[in-house]
Structure 1
Amino acid sequence: MHQFKELLIWKKSRLFCSKIYNVTSTFPSEEKFGIINQLRRASVSIPSNIAEGSSRNSNKDFARFLEIAIGSAYEVETQLLISSDLGFINEEKTIELTNMLEEITKMTSRFRATLL
């Protein structure tokens, strides 16, 4: 078992999640049950799956949860780009968030490879 609170990927994804909550608080209120909810849920899924996977007894199980976290990261990226297309996020913020997400995804993928 891994101590998830010590994992840099968990720390970075948790910070990223907070940034998503902050940026979506500026979205139009009619998106509360649309893209806001989707972005928040998918961003929460990243650190949550890292934490849940760390509790598993085998590296293979942990790797599966990291794969799910990576899938959630791609989901968030798509939703960020759609939010940008709709004018909910400016280009500078979109680039900042997608760069953070890319770093988290790469780190998670490299960590996952060490488990297999």
Structure 2
Amino acid sequence: MVLRLAERWPLSPLGRNGGGTARRWRYHDDVSGLGVAASISEPFCGDCNRLRITADGQAFTCLFASQGTDLNPAMGSDQELEQVIRALWQRRSDRYSEERHCKADPVPRAEMAYLGG
């Protein structure tokens, strides 16, 4: 996709921002650019630092997760909420983009619009 865009509008690669997931390019006008989070063709699971929390309090450690973790029981205390989120992040094992070719049966995923992706 980026190669096709670059054929029409010359692009210069910028790489990724610190904790960002998108690879970025700048147009030669030095004003505008684009970013692409190519999680399927260029997985970044090991570098991902994104946690998505839905409006109903479900935390998803992966955009492709099939289910989230309910944060509502921990909402009464900032300290408890922090502990729950830290524990969730430390035990995460989501590697959908890296493992998707190895899986025989696809697992239903939450809709990106629901997760904010």
Tell me the TM-score normalised to structure 2 length. 0.30
Higher relative contact order (CA 8 A, sep 6+): 1
- The structure that is helix-richer by fraction is 1
Greater C-alpha radius of gyration: 2
- The structure that is strand-richer by fraction is 2
